[in-house]
Amino acid sequence: MFVQHISDTVLYLVPTPIGNLEDITYRAVRVLKEVDTILAEDTRTTGQLLKHLEIKKPLQSYHIFNEHHTVEKLIERLKKGEKMALVSDAGTPAISDPGFLLVRECLKHELAVECLPGAVAFIPALVKSGFPTDSFLFEGFLPHKKGRQTKMLQLCKENRTIIFYESPHRLVKTLQQLSEHFGVDRLCSVSREISKMHEETTNGTLAEVLKYYQDKGVKGEIVLLVKGLEGKRIETSEEEEDEE
């Protein structure tokens, strides 16, 4: 068992704005000023943010293509007392972005990790959708090829609200495939460019939203939500457990 205390933190996961720079928190700014090194998914993107915040700190690239090769060296540096902040290009690190591997290795070596609360795209999209928020399923990005159809066949019977991230050039194709598996009348919600100037949320059936984006075209960062299958949720109550 490993109990983490804030005072022992060596690695901070720091959420960054997903669009509007005013969404950075005071605490995030303080942590970025105090750490020794900032690990960035794209040093150019993070460099622009730091310039805006008037923060000068050493930047090191840490992304999906190099994380397996760099994590061991980072752990050694953290063991020696260096404090680091991990940021992604936008939102919370490790949510459909690099971070999981480094956190796992830190815990394996009993190095304390702290994740600051902050921006994440799917929460405002979920709240604005009007779909049930008491229980939901975050799927991130669907598989591009292998396993994509199998995943959709599994999810079409899900009765919780389902949340996906999607790229603009694949959204229409995804809506088409969801219509085939979930039915054209299943309700969905697409939030685009959250917190930015051209933020837009489109609610309707899969067929309606598909036609809208076929006609209009798609730009920006996308969060796609599909309402769960109507009907009783499959749950095991305490009474049922007692009966067994």
For position 243, what pLDDT does the model report?
Answer: 47
* Beta partners for residue 37, in sequence order: 84
In a domain, 236, yes or no: no
At residue 234, does pLDDT exceed 90? Answer: no
- For residue 25 the two structure tokens come to 């928190």
Q: Give 186-233 pLDDT, tens digit per residue.
A: 999 999 999 999 999 999 999 999 999 999 999 999 999 999 998 655
Domain containing 57 — which CATH number? 3.40.1010.10
For position 5, what pLDDT does the model report?
Answer: 83
For position 166, what pLDDT does the model report?
Answer: 97
Q: Are residues 11 and 77 in the same domain?
A: yes
Collapsed DSSP state (helix, strand, coil) of residue 181: helix
In a domain, 237, yes or no: no
Q: What are the helix (H) ranges across the chain?
A: 26-34, 43-53, 67-79, 100-108, 122-129, 148-155, 171-182, 206-216, 238-243
Judge whether 84 and 38 are in contact, CB under 8 Å. yes
- Look at residues 73, 90, 115 and tell me which one is the last residue of a structural domain: 115
- Amino acid (one-letter) located at 231: G
Closest by Cα among 116, 115, 113 to 4: 113
229: DSSP letter: P
Q: Are residues 54 and 104 in the same domain?
A: yes
- Rounded to whole angstroms, how far apart are CA atoms 198 and 64? 29
For position 230, what pLDDT does the model report?
Answer: 85
- Look at residues 62, 81, 115 and tell me which one is the last residue of a structural domain: 115
For position 6, what pLDDT does the model report?
Answer: 80
At residue 17, does pLDDT exceed 80? Answer: yes
Is pTM beyond 0.75? Reply is: yes
φ/ψ of residue 162, rounded to 5: -110, 135
Q: Give 99-152 pLDDT, tens digit per residue.
A: 999 999 999 999 999 999 999 999 999 999 999 999 999 999 999 889 999 999
In a domain, 233, yes or no: no
Q: Are residues 156 and 111 in the same domain?
A: no
Q: Are residues 189 and 213 in the same domain?
A: yes
Supply the range of the domain harboring residue 87: 6-115
Q: Are residues 78 and 169 in the same domain?
A: no
- Rounded to whole angstroms, how far apart are CA atoms 63 and 206? 34
Q: Are residues 80 and 167 in the same domain?
A: no
Q: Are residues 146 and 100 in the same domain?
A: no
Closest by Cα among 37, 49, 40, 114 to 77: 37
For position 240, what pLDDT does the model report?
Answer: 45
Q: Give 174-194 pLDDT, tens digit per residue.
A: 999 999 999 999 999 999 999
In a domain, 88, yes or no: yes
Q: Are residues 105 and 145 in the same domain?
A: no
Q: Are residues 106 and 127 in the same domain?
A: no
Q: Are residues 70 and 158 in the same domain?
A: no
Residue burial 62-98, b: 16+ Cβ < 10 Å; e: rest: bbeeebeebbeebbeebeeeeebbbbbbbbbbbbbbb
- Rounded to whole angstroms, how far apart are CA atoms 209 and 175? 8
Q: Give 66-92 pLDDT, tens digit per residue.
A: 889 999 999 999 999 999 999 999 999
Whole-number average pLDDT of the chain: 93
For position 236, what pLDDT does the model report?
Answer: 42
Percent share of the chain, pLDDT over 70: 94
Q: Are residues 133 and 174 in the same domain?
A: yes
Domain count, the chain: 2
Domain containing 215 — which CATH number? 3.30.950.10
- For residue 123 the two structure tokens come to 């929460």
